[in-house]
Structure formats: structure tokens, C-alpha cells
Structure 1
């Protein structure tokens, strides 16, 4: 069975052509790759997990102070069993928090990118939460440079399309599974909506990706971060980069009885980016798959309705 590879991003600076070719091949096959050598400090990742776990340990009524009803969970806290994978009858067994990009309140995107809220009960939440946001945003930019080169675009092709992207850092808490025979996987099979997702340090096994009809478990070693393609980049690349189904399953061991924490970063394009297939990705073998134009913000709203967040 093939496995999702782990590639060291420092090779982008030392053996660029080989790295870009291997990265592109991984994404064409799996829609996923693990990235090591990224240089995000361990203490930033560990400190972030610590503040997120301290927040989720607060009483429900305290957490609900930060639930902004009617906002689609764009910022702050979303309680258990709200989000539902597209076409799934069961809600996901998770609660989560959203950190978004800090932008000037006179920005043209201020109406669709609200200010962050921060829990006063966890004083260093903002320091770690936004620190990790910025580190993953910068790493995502580096991955996108290689992805741009692989499809024949300029290295900086994506940079003016993501510099004010509506990106989200989502700390998630999956509670311990305390009863047997429950129907839910912890998070139902789904594809991500955005450009790319960077998942840092899932604290337990469970992540699986669908490849050629089989579910492959993804486990990382060392500092590796899982990075996968989302639907917006699949559309823009005319499916050269596939957005692959993945899920979080309950471990078949004592870890099912433990809480699971994970922190994905959803890197989004700027709200006004038009997701038309790129000419560089349209070939006789891969004809244009989309005839209608849609902006990334319109696409996001359409998908949030499908997963019952708005």
C-alpha cells in the first residue's frame, strides 16, 4: 500500500526542481503531503495546544459566552454537534474555536472578516493562537510557491491572491468516546473548502484519507505537518490538484476513551479571488471543467450552508 510521503521543505532552497516535482506528484496522487523542516518552533506548537486545551476545559456556560450566534462560527466558539459533514445525517462529535486574520477595520473585506474574540479566562490564548496563525500562514505561502511552479505559474503567483485571505485557525476538541456502538466517526468524510489546509500535531491517531477506494491512515513523525488540497484550489487548478475525502475515525484501542485535539489551519484566498480554472491547467487530456465564474467568498457561503454552519 502506498503511503502519503513526507517531504522536507528546506529542499525548496537546496534542490528546488526535485522538490517541486516530488511535491506535485504527491498532491496529484493523494491530494495530501506531510511537510517537515518547516522551522515552526516546538514551543509555539506546544504552547498553543496548552492554551487551547485550557479553554476547552472551561465550563460550558463560560465557553458559550464566546459563541456568536448567527455568525456561522466565523469567530469564537462553536459547541458540540453543530457542524455536519456534507450529506451526513450525523453531526460531528467536536467543539471548536475560530481565529481569523487581523485586518484593519476600514479594509474592503471588513464586512466579511469580523474581528477576533479572545477568551479572557485564558490570558495567553491570543499570544499563542495568533502566533501559530501567522506561522502557519507563512508556511502555507511557501507550499503554494512550490505548487505554483509545478503547474507552470510564477513562484509568487498565489501571493497577491492570499495576502488578505479569509484564513482560519481552528483548534478542535473531540471528547472521549464513552459509549460503544455510536454511529459517528469523530468527523465525517469530507473535503475541505479552502485552498490548502495545514494540520499541526494531531494528538491521537484517527486521520484517514481516501485513496483509490481505500482509507489510508495518516500518521506523522517528528515535526511533520499534514498539508492537503481544498476544493477552491481543486477548482482553480482544474482538478490537477485533487481535493481528497478524509475523515477522523475513532481509534480501535484505548485512545478512543481519551480526548483528541487537533489544530488545522485553513488557508483561504482573498474573498474577491475568482476561482476560474487556470489556462496552465487546461489541456486536451484535462479539458476545462467549470463554465461559471464564482468568487471565493460566494463559494465559501455556498459550502457553509451545506455543512449547516450558516
Structure 2
């Protein structure tokens, strides 16, 4: 299937020394449409050097080729809000992958191996770049929604809860049924993905799965559950999955522009009372939802219908 349904956004007007208001307007129009329909888009000219992305991907692939005993030297880190460091999905799960999770540089939760050399430094540089891009996309979304200037920035001002994950997906074999990552939506605010040339990421639109074809210089962006709740479904949390190809390893980086655990999340009055709409979700503490989502992974329910999604907080209209 063609990739034409997923728009590509050129962010260069926001990095130009010239005041390209027309270019910025086009960017906002494209992002607004994408977020309203299914929550996915691609970005180019985003400010992250391609050499750094390539270097980080190479080092990540090198690390994941090491024996388990070597990889286990870097985690998981005790005391972190989520299991930082190296982790491997339980064998009982259909989604079979391994990953390194890191929090902001200097947070004290990140343990990295000395081998391969330069891996820690590359990850930290990537983290800082992604954090800046997250702030930019958040600002653009703020404008798309017509919210007061810096509203989302002030609501989500604590960057200490952002996290980045280097992922390795095991290849599908004849005796495995894993699909990479099952159909889901992300729990956070905004997610950024850099995938290798293997591909496998797919987004759901109107009941159809659309492959997100890897292209040089492009990053994937998807809106997540917090934005969907705040906007009372005006912006959609993107439904996506990873389909691992048979016999081929897949690697990617995912950056989760997150929310502080103690934040209260509920539909904003700009999308409910001020326009005469009923709220579609009851409010909740983000840490409570995050804990339930993490339990989906560590103790997966026996029945698919018992997996927790944002619909857990949905208000019934019946």
C-alpha cells in the first residue's frame, strides 16, 4: 500500500533566520489535519544531524549483538520511575523485543556499558535533540488547537519524565508468533520514532494498516493518549503496531515526550464546557494510568479485552 496517506512536514520554516510565516502556517495546517484524522505524521529538516542518527543506530545494533551477560551489565537501574537500563521482554509475550530505556542525561537512572565506545554519549546527544524537537512540536500543537500561548508548555513544563528507548526486535521465525509490537496507542503526550531501513511500523487509518516506509532524514511523530484526553478527542491518539519481517532483525529509537507522574489529566474546558460539549473522559492522575499500562507489559492479562487502554477512563454515553 502506498505511503501517501501519511503526510510529511518540513520544519525548516521554524529553523530559518527569515520570518517565514506562510511556511509556518502550512506546517500547522498539515499537522492539524493529521492529528485530527489519525494522529501520525513525518517530519524532515527537524534539526537532528543525520550523522548522529546513523551513529546512534550503528552503536545500538552493535550493542544488541552482544551476549546477554554483557548486555545485562547495564540494568535495569533500581529506583527509576520505569525500568531504566537494559530489559528483555518475557518469553511468554507475543511481542518479543529487547531494549535500553534511558531518562534525561544526569538524572542518575542511566547505566551504560563502556562497550561499544561512544554509545552513552550518542544516546545523550540524541536525547537532548529529541527533547528540543518535542518542545517545538508541542508548541505547534498548542497553536493548532487555538490554546493560549505556551498553555501546553506551562502545563507540561517538567522534562525530567521524558524517556528514550533503543529497541531491537527479534526476527519472526517459523516457530514464533510474535508480530513485533501488538496494536496499541501510546500513553504519553507525543512520541518520536527513528527506525532503520527494515521498516515494519504501521499506522491504522479508517480500519486499514498503512506501512510507514523508512526514508533518509525522516522521523515519525504520533500524538498519544494525554493529548487525546486533553482535547476531548479533537486530536487522535494514533493506533499503530510493528510487524517484524521474517528472518530479519529490526532496530529503532523511540522518544516519549512525557508528562509528570503527579499531573492531573482531563478534557480541557476549551473542548468541553466552552463549546457546549460533554467531557468524554473522567479525570485521572497520570501515574495511575502509567502504572496500569506498565502492568499490561509485565503481567499481561489472559484476555485481550482486559488490556488497559485510555478507554478505561471513557465516560459512557448510554
1:295 to 2:303 alignment: no
Residue 36 of structure 2 aligns to a residue in which SS?
A: helix
Q: Distance in 2 between matches of 1:301 and 1:129?
A: 26
- Which residue is 1:134 aligned to? 128
Residue 298 of structure 2 aligns to a residue in which SS?
A: coil
- CA contact 1:148–1:157 (8 Å) conserved in 2: yes
1:4 to 2:6 alignment: yes
Q: Deviations over 1:136-184 (max 9, x none)?
A: 111111111110011111342222314324111100011233x326322
**Counterparts in 2 of 1:82-231, with a 5 A limit?**
90-102=93-105, 115-160=109-154, 161-177=156-172, 179-180=173-174, 182-231=176-225
Aligned residues: 289
**Distance apart, 1:285 and its partner CA:** 7.3
- What's the TM-score, normalizing by structure 1? 0.85
Moved more, 192-201 or 14-23: 14-23
- Which residue is 2:76 aligned to? 68
**Distance apart, 1:309 and its partner CA:** 6.8
Moved more, 239-248 or 154-163: 154-163
Moved more, 185-194 or 73-82: 73-82
**Distance apart, 1:258 and its partner CA:** 2.0
Higher relative contact order by CA 8 Å / sep ≥ 6: 1 or 2?
Answer: 1
Q: Distance in 2 between matches of 1:69 and 1:117?
A: 7
Q: Distance in 1 between matches of 2:116 and 2:264?
A: 39
**Distance apart, 1:11 and its partner CA:** 3.3
Q: Deviations over 1:8-67 (max 9, x none)?
A: 112346222332122111111121010111121011101111221121111111112333
- CA contact 1:165–1:271 (8 Å) conserved in 2: no
- CA contact 2:103–2:160 (8 Å) conserved in 1: no
Give the CA RMSD over aligned residues: 2.4
- CA contact 1:274–1:295 (8 Å) conserved in 2: yes
